[in-house]
Amino acid sequence: MPIPSNKHSRVMTRILNCKWELAAPVFGILLTMAFAPYDYAYAAIGALVFIYWVWQRQMPKRAALSGYLFGLGLFGSGIWWTYISIHDFGGGDPYSSIALTALLVAVWALFPALTGWFIAKTSVWSGAWLRIIAAAIAWVAVEYFRGYWLLNGFPWLQIAYSQLSTPLAGYAPLTGVYGVGFLLAVSAFSLVEILRGKLRALPGLLVLGLIWAGGGYLQTVSWTQAAGAPIKVTLVQGNIGQDQKWQKNQKLNTLRLYQELTEQHWDSDVIIWPETSIPAFLSQVKEFYIDPLQTAAQAHGVDLVVGLPSSGQGKEYYNSVMTLGENQALYHKNHLLPFGEYLPLQPLSGWVLDKLQIPLGDFAAGGDRQTLLTAGGHAFVTTICYEDAFGELVARQIADAGYIVNMTNDAWFGNSSQPHQHMQMAQMRALETGRYLARATNTGVTGFVGPDGALRKQAPLFTTTTLTDYIVPMRGLTPYVILGDKGFFGVLAVLLLVTYVWHRKFGAGISKQGVEAV
């Protein structure tokens, strides 16, 4: 058998030294499998166990590289559908669309890299619980920065959304999405410390058992109460192709379709249409379409909730929701989608998109002080499109609302994983606030969600149909609604401080030893 040359040996050594980096994208893909539509919820634990194990064995710079490659696997497999919106419906050529999709994946992958760098920095701390708490806080803090602050927020693939079917979901009404994510990270990181022999197995497993058993118990607790009799709600799913939606020769057909589907359900209390279901500005359709709908709704004692664009002062225009029937009022979308509804980083972003010849909208935000809309005799929180991805946005309005309405158009992303991921996020909002949620979409996923976060009814995707169910208006506030995301992070800061002080007093302090280099 020939003896390998020194050159080949050096190559093999380099490959073996990179074994963790080579595996990182695979485990990033594994984390994607925890989310809808795959729903292997416990795969999230396996992915987190792997990446935390790696970070504990690496210096910060190398941990950042491992985190970046992990992020490429996660976002590459998790948000690939942005290509569909850019190419199929945004007008981009294949090369530009691939480039922009790859750029988005590359940018969002920076956040697991940042998490890895932070966690590797704390790996020299003695005291397993101190490391675990600090690392779990680092994970959800970076998620919060990505999901709420940067470029108006992109909260997709936050680990908590994968846990709607596990006992950890019981903590959502107490802590919100970041609390669920924190406890998931604590669970995975604790297993690693036990396997490394840094945390005694019995107390470690006892704490994990208490966390998961506590979540199971909390799922039996009702935090809110009925505020009135059930109301009959019908959701209309028009299934208008995105490539047809704004065609002038299709406008009247679309308006006629929604009117006909609505007229079949005048026995409902509330009828809800999807986002921009009316493909024309309010001023263009008010006299010949909106006013007759208003008259018909009043005559049948029904409240209609429709979506359409509307104009403001000057050149401002809004993505809006309008109620017709007993109360006629408007809500303008407030939390806008970056690069889809407004262009951040101007003038650079506008220049780049112009060069690539990709047309995107530039809407105005409606503002934080809008009055709640009312339908079926109860006020409701309105979320348009991905506004339902922000827990605090819903929580700060829910006190006076009996239920939640989400109106969206996920036709932009075709038959991909995106509509299913989006529904998971909507389900979390219902669970956090203890409210029913009625979700009307253009092509799916249209459905009703209970206060427990469970999907009660769902319409088939890519089908012109309606879906009817009874929902109960609710009252009362969950602990999360009172606390909010910022309040929860304050609790985490206190927990970290207490853990640190306890360890300094009873533990060994901060070790001055380095980490094992891979």
Residues tagged active-site: 275, 333, 385
Calculate helix-pair angle for 43-56, 128-144, nearest 10 degrees: 110
Spatial separation of the C-alpha atoms in residues 356 and 353, rounded to whole Å: 5
Tokens of residue 406, six digits:
């989400």
Spatial separation of the C-alpha atoms in residues 509 and 95, rounded to whole Å: 54
Identity of residue 186: V
329 backbone dihedrals φ, ψ, rounded to 5° = -155, 165
Query: By C-alpha distance, which of 309, 333, 314, 421 is closest to 383?
Result: 333
Spatial separation of the C-alpha atoms in residues 161 and 418, rounded to whole Å: 13
* Separation in Å, CA 78 to CA 89, 123, 218, 477: 19, 29, 30, 33
SS3 label, residue 514: coil
Which residue is it, tokens 């929860």? 488
Query: By C-alpha distance, which of 475, 428, 480 is closest to 449?
Result: 428
- Number of helices followed by number of strands (H, E) in the chain: 18, 14
Strand partners of residue 259? none
- CA 33 to centroid of chain Cα atoms: 15
Which residue is it, tokens 């220049």? 351
Spatial separation of the C-alpha atoms in residues 117 and 172, rounded to whole Å: 28
514 C-beta neighbours (distance < 10 Å), count: 9
Calculate helix-pair angle for 479-506, 418-433, nearest 10 degrees: 90
Cβ(430)–Cβ(450) below 8 Å: yes
Tokens of residue 273, six digits:
């249409």
Spatial separation of the C-alpha atoms in residues 238 and 210, rounded to whole Å: 47
- Give the helix/strand (H/E) hosting 439: strand 437-441
Contacts of 183 by beta carbon, 8 Å cutoff, 6+ apart: 136, 168, 171, 175, 211, 215
SS3 label, residue 165: coil
